[in-house]
Amino acid sequence: MDDKSMENTPYICVKALEKGVSIIGVTRGEVTKIHHTEKLDQGEVLIAQFTSNTSAIKVRGQAEIYTQFGMILAEKPEKE
C-alpha cells in the first residue's frame, strides 16, 4: 500500500483505563489470524490504523476507544 492510499485509512485511538488492556490486530483474507498484540498500562494510549493487512482490532479490558464515529467505552464483563 503506498503512502497516498494510507492517508484516508481509518484508525482508532485506545486509552487504557486499567493496567493490562489488550489490543489485538486481526488479518484480512480467507483465514483470519491474530498478527499483532499490545498490552497497555493504565493511562497509556495506542493509535492503531486499519491497513491492507488489518481488518479488525479487538480491545480487551477497560478502555476508551475513539473512532471517527465517536467514543466507545469498553468495560469488563460482569461475572456470572
Per-residue model confidence as pLDDT tens digits over 25-70: 888 878 888 888 999 999 999 999 888 888 889 999 999 999 999 9
Please report whether residue 37 resides in a domain: yes
CA gyration radius, the chain: 14
Please report whether residue 28 resides in a domain: yes
pTM: 0.79
Please report whether residue 77 resides in a domain: no
Residue closest to 5 by CA, chosen among 43, 50, 47: 50
Please report whether residue 44 resides in a domain: yes
20: left (phi over 0), alpha (psi -120 to 50) or beta: left
Q: Which domain holds residue 33?
A: 3-60
